[in-house]
Structure 1
Amino acid sequence: MSLTSNTPLNWTHRLNQLGPSFFTRLHPTPVAAPRWAMRNTALLHSLGWPMDLLSDTHLAAFAGNALLPGSDPLATVYSGHQFGVWAGQLGDGRALWLGEAQSLQGPQEIQLKGAGPTPYSRRGDGRAVLRSSIREYLCSEAMHGLGIPTSRALCLVASPEPVRREAWETAAIVTRVAPSFLRFGHVEHFAARQDLQSLQTLADHVIAHHLPECQARAARWGGNTYAALLDVVQERTASLMAQWQAVGFCHGVMNTDNMSLLGLTIDYGPFQFMDGFDPGHICNHSDTQGRYAYARQPNIAYWNLYALAQALMPLIGDEDLTEQVLEGYKTLFPRLLGDAMRAKLGLTGELAKEEQREQDWSLVEDLLQLLASERVDYTVFWRRLSHAMAQDDGAWQFAQVHWQGVSDLLLDRPRLLAWLARYQTRAGSALPKALGEQMLRTNPKFVLRNHLAEIAIRQATQGDDSEIATLQDLLHSPFDEHPGFESYAQLPPDWAGQLEISCSS
C-alpha cells in the first residue's frame, strides 16, 4: 500500500501506548474509484491542520486506499449491553483509528468509518453506505452547530463499490474526529474479563489524558480517583442528555458501547430530530420495544451509567460510595434540563431559587403536554414563539398578527392563550422583545430533519453533492435566519412521516 505525500500532522498516538490487549493493528481495505463527496474546511481551519490535508493528494488516504504518513491504524476492542442485554465482545467493526494528532483544540483522534472489516466485524463487511454516511456527516456537524458535544466530520468519500444492506447500495467512508472515541463499553470489556490490570490502565489513561479534572474531584470522594472518574462521566452525561432533550433529539441506539466517556454524541445511526412532539416517539424502526424512545433517553443514560459503575467497582472498591456518586445524576439531570428549557423561554434570570425553578418547570411541563396533545412541530413552535416575542412591542397582545404563526400551530387556542397568560405573569417586568431576542439564540431555526437528509441522499446517489453542502452551511449556524432558505425550516412534507430509519441506517 503506497503512502500519500507528506503532511505535517503532529501525531501523538497516546492510545496505542496502552498495549496489544486494547486493539488490533491493521490497514484499511481499499475501495474502488473513490471521490470526494464533502470536505469540511471549516473544521480543518479550526483545528489548525494544513489546508492541503483535504486536497486531492490525500483522497486515497481518506478512502482507505493509502496511509497518511505517521498514522498507526488500529481497531479497538470493547464490549457492551445492546438493548439492555449483555452482548459480550464487540469492538470497532467498521471503524479504523488512524491515530491522534495535535490541534488548536488539543489532541484529536481521527477515525475512518466504513474502511473495511476488522477482527471485531462479527461477520460483517466493515463498510458504511453512502446513505448512512451522509446522515452521520451532517448530523455531527448539526450537533456542533447547536453547541452540543459531539464527534465531528472531517470529510466524506464516496465510492461506486456495491454494499449489501436491505438492498444493494454504494460504499462511503466518513472521517470522524474527536478528543477520544473511548466508550462505556471499553471499560465494561476489561471488567467482564476480570482483567483488572488492563481495567486500571484504561481508567488511568482516561483520567490522565482526557478527564484530568478527576484529580481535583477526588477530594469530594475521600481521595478516590476512580469514584471521581464516575462522577465526571455522570456529570457530562447528564449535561448531554439535557441538551438532547431540549432540542428534541433522539439518538435511537443508546447501547453502552455507543456511550462516550467524554460525554460526546457519537455513533449516529437511526437518529432523528422530532417533527411533531411526542414523548413516546421511537426513531429507530429496529427498536420494537421502544427502549430508546425520546422520553426514555434520560433514564437509559442512568441505566448505562449504572453498568459503567459496576464495571468500575473493582477500582472504586466501595459499593456505597459508588451508589452515592450515581445519585448525583438523579439530581443533576433534572436541574440541567430545567435550565435548558427555561432558556428556551428566555427565563435565564433568577435561577438560584428552588421555588422559582419548580414554578418554571411547571410552566414548561404544561407547555410540553400541550404540544404533545396535538403533536405540534417541536422546532417550528419554539422558533415561532421566539419570533413572536422578539416582535412584540411590550403589550403582550396575543391577537396581534405576529402571534398568529404560533396560534396557527394549535387547535386548542384557549389552552394556548391560558398558558401564554401564565408565561406573561412569570416574565414580570421583562420586555417580550428582550426575552425573544434571547430565545432566538437558543431555539434553532434549522435542524437536520429526516426528510432534508433524505433529499440530500437521493441527490448524492445521482452524483450531485450540492445539497449536502447547502445543509452543512445552514446547520453550522442554525440560529441565523439565512434569508432565501426558509423552505428548510418549514413544516415537513407529508411523505416525511413515511420515512423509516433502522440500525442499518
Structure 2
Amino acid sequence: MRLSELELSNQYASLGEPFGQFIQPKPFEHPHLVHINPAGAALLGLNPGRDSAQTWAEYGCGARLFRGSRPFAMKYAGHQFGVYNPELGDGRGLLLGEARGIHGERWDLHLKGAGKTPYSRFGDGRAVLRSTIREYLCSEAMHALGIASTRALCIIGSDEPVVREKIESGAMLIRLARTHIRFGHFEHFFYTGQHEALEQLVHFTCAEQLPQTADLSVAEKAAAILEMAMKRSARLVAQWQAAGFAHGVLNTDNMSIIGDTFDYGPYGFLDDYEPGFICNHSDHTGRYAFERQPGVVLWNLNALGHALSGLLTREAIVETLQRFEPLLVQHYSGLMRARLGFEQPGADDDRLCAQLLKLLEDASADYPAFFRRLSRYSPGEGAPAFSDLFGAEQQAPLADWLQRYDTRLKAEPRPDAERQQAMLRTNPKFILRNFLAQRVIDAAEGGDFAPLDRFMSLLQAPFDEHSGNDEWAALPGTAQKHLPISCSS
C-alpha cells in the first residue's frame, strides 16, 4: 500500500473541544528522509518501496496529510516530579488520526515536532534530530526485547535550526501507539471538574481497549480501567527492572493507560549494575532513579485512582492498588528466573538472584554483559569467563556464588545445551547503551545515516549473534558510562 492509500479515522478528535484542539502541522521548508522503519510500515500494510523518499519526507513532516487525517492536539495534565501541573498537553506533537493495522488492530499516528500548539507554553513545538533518533531506536529496541512499547514509522530531517542546549537540526518522527491516552488525561478532567468529559473519556477508553465492558455502568468501566492500568503497569515495570532500563521521567503524563513504555526522553540502560542509577541530569533528587521506578509507578497509579475517585469508592481503589506489589514481584521473579536459566521455580531462587545483584553492585560489574556470558556458562567452569567484569577483591565472592548456581542448575530438568539456548534468547547481546546511541546521533548530525540503519537492524534482533558487528556490543569505557541526558532529548 502507498502512503496516499492509508486512510485514517478520528475517533478521539471527534470527542470534541474539551479533549483538545484541531491544529495544522507546520511542515519543514526543505524536509528530507532520514529513515523508514520497515517493521513499523508493515504494521500498517505500507510498502516503503512504493513511494519516493521525497513523498515520505512530505507525509512525515505534515506537508501532505494522510487521507482522512484531522490533526489534533490532545489536552491533558499530570504530576511532574510529584507536583501537579495543569498546563500540559500536546505541545510539540499532533494526533494525525487512527489507522487499522494489517490484523485489524488499532494504531494512533502521532507526528512529533510538528510545531506550536495551544499547549506549547514557551516551547517552539519542534523536536531535534537527537531526540527523534533516541525515541526511534529505543521504541524498536524495547519491542524486540518483548517489552510493551510504542513503535515508530519514520524520521524526517531538515536544515531548520532549533535551539536546545545548543543549536540543533529540527526533525520529526511519526510515532505509532495503540493509544495516546495517558494517566494525565484523566487527571485533567478530574481537577478541572469536568465530570461529564471524564465519564466520556472512560466510555471511550473502554470502547477502544476493553470492549468486553460495553454493557457495564460507567463506574464499572472506571474500575476496569484502573484494574487494567494496575496489572499492565506492574508487568511493565517488572520488565524494565529485569532488563536494566531506566525511563528517566516517570511523570503521570508519561504513563500510558494501557501499560506501554511511552515518551522516550532521558532514558538509559544500565551499564554497571547501579541500583541508584539516575539517567536524567534534571533529576536532582533521584526521584526517578532505576531502583525507585516500581515505587514511582505505584505512586502514579494512586494519582490515577484519585482522578477516578468521583466514580469509584476509596475501598475499591485501595483494593485494586494493593495487588500491584504482589503482581510486580511475581512478574519480576519469573523474568529473573528466565535470565538465570531456571525453567522451574526453586525455593531459594529469589535469594540467589538477590545475592547475585548485590555481587554485581559491589563489583560495579556490567549488567547486560554478565547475563549474556552466563548464557554460555556450564556448571563447574568457575569464574574465568567473568574475570574481567570483577575486581580482584570480588573474585572469591563470585566463585562462591557460582558454586551455589552450579548446585541450583543440577535441579534443572533441561540439558545444559537447551538451557543455554533458552538463555541466549532471553539475555540480549545488543543493548541500546547511551554511548552507542550518541555514536549514531553524531554520525547522523554529520549527514551519515548508515550507523542508524545498522544499529536499528541489530536492536530489532538483539539476541542474534550478527557476526561482524561486535563493535556494537562493546562495553563502554569509564567516560562513556554516565553521559548527561536531558529532558530535551
Query: Normalized against structure 1, the TM-score is what?
Result: 0.92
- Counterpart CA distance in 2 for 1:347 and 1:477 is 23
How far did residue 150 of structure 1 move?
0.6
How far did residue 58 of structure 1 move?
3.6
Between stretches 485-494 and 296-305, larger displacement belongs to 485-494
- Counterpart CA distance in 2 for 1:248 and 1:58 is 35
Give the counterpart of 1:104 among 102, 122, 126: 102
The answer (yes or no) to whether the contact 1:181–1:260 under 8 Å persists in 2 is yes
Is 1:502–2:486 an aligned residue pair?
A: yes
Give the counterpart of 1:87 among 85, 88, 103: 85
Give the counterpart of 2:73 among 72, 75, 82: 75
- Counterpart CA distance in 2 for 1:360 and 1:6 is 51
- Counterpart CA distance in 1 for 2:125 and 2:271 is 32
- Counterpart CA distance in 1 for 2:21 and 2:479 is 44
Q: Which residue of 2 aligns with 1:432?
A: 416
- Counterpart CA distance in 1 for 2:201 and 2:116 is 25
Between stretches 188-197 and 14-23, larger displacement belongs to 14-23
Q: Cα deviations across residues 107-151 of structure 1 (Å, max 9, x unaligned)?
A: 211011111010000120000011111111111111111111111
Q: Which residue of 2 aligns with 1:37?
A: 34
The answer (yes or no) to whether the contact 1:278–1:372 under 8 Å persists in 2 is yes
Q: Which runs of 5 or more structure 2 residues have no equivalent in the other structure?
A: none
Task: Give the alignment of 1:44-443 within 5 angstroms.
Answer: 44-51=41-48, 52=50, 55-105=53-103, 106-212=105-211, 224-316=220-312, 318-349=313-344, 351=345, 356=346, 359-388=348-377, 392=378, 396-399=379-382, 404-411=384-391, 412-430=394-412, 431-443=415-427
Question: What amino acid maps onto 2:69 in structure 1?
Answer: S
The answer (yes or no) to whether the contact 2:364–2:390 under 8 Å persists in 1 is no
- Counterpart CA distance in 1 for 2:250 and 2:24 is 29
How far did residue 464 of structure 1 move?
0.5
**1:498–1:260 Cα change, 3 Å:** closer
Q: Which residue of 2 aligns with 1:461?
A: 445
How far did residue 493 of structure 1 move?
2.5
How far did residue 190 of structure 1 move?
0.2
- Counterpart CA distance in 1 for 2:58 and 2:97 is 17
> Residue 448 of structure 1: SS of its match in structure 2?
coil
- Counterpart CA distance in 2 for 1:429 and 1:360 is 12
Question: What amino acid maps onto 1:321 in structure 2?
Answer: A
How far did residue 214 of structure 1 move?
5.2
Question: What amino acid maps onto 1:33 in structure 2?
Answer: H
Q: Which residue of 2 aligns with 1:28?
A: 25
**1:493–1:40 Cα change, 3 Å:** same
Query: Normalized against structure 2, the TM-score is what?
Result: 0.95
The answer (yes or no) to whether the contact 1:214–1:232 under 8 Å persists in 2 is no
The answer (yes or no) to whether the contact 2:75–2:89 under 8 Å persists in 1 is yes
Between stretches 75-84 and 46-55, larger displacement belongs to 46-55
The answer (yes or no) to whether the contact 1:49–1:103 under 8 Å persists in 2 is no
Q: CA RMSD in A?
A: 1.9
The answer (yes or no) to whether the contact 2:266–2:279 under 8 Å persists in 1 is yes
Question: What amino acid maps onto 1:224 in structure 2?
Answer: E
**1:213–1:285 Cα change, 3 Å:** farther
The answer (yes or no) to whether the contact 1:374–1:410 under 8 Å persists in 2 is yes
How far did residue 6 of structure 1 move?
7.1
How far did residue 495 of structure 1 move?
3.0
- Counterpart CA distance in 2 for 1:6 and 1:381 is 44
The answer (yes or no) to whether the contact 1:150–1:265 under 8 Å persists in 2 is yes
How far did residue 213 of structure 1 move?
5.1
- Counterpart CA distance in 2 for 1:478 and 1:75 is 35
- Counterpart CA distance in 1 for 2:339 and 2:241 is 12
Question: What amino acid maps onto 2:187 in structure 1?
Answer: E
Q: Cα deviations across residues 362-409 of structure 1 (Å, max 9, x unaligned)?
A: 111110010011111111111011122xxx3xxx2224xxx6222331
Give the counterpart of 2:472 among 488, 491, 502: 488
- Counterpart CA distance in 2 for 1:149 and 1:376 is 27
Between stretches 279-288 and 414-423, larger displacement belongs to 414-423
Question: What amino acid maps onto 2:406 in structure 1?
Answer: Q
Between stretches 80-89 and 53-62, larger displacement belongs to 53-62
How far did residue 53 of structure 1 move?
5.9
The answer (yes or no) to whether the contact 1:9–1:102 under 8 Å persists in 2 is no
Q: Which runs of 5 or more structure 1 residues have no equivalent in the other structure?
A: none
> Residue 500 of structure 1: SS of its match in structure 2?
coil
> Residue 308 of structure 2: SS of its match in structure 1?
helix
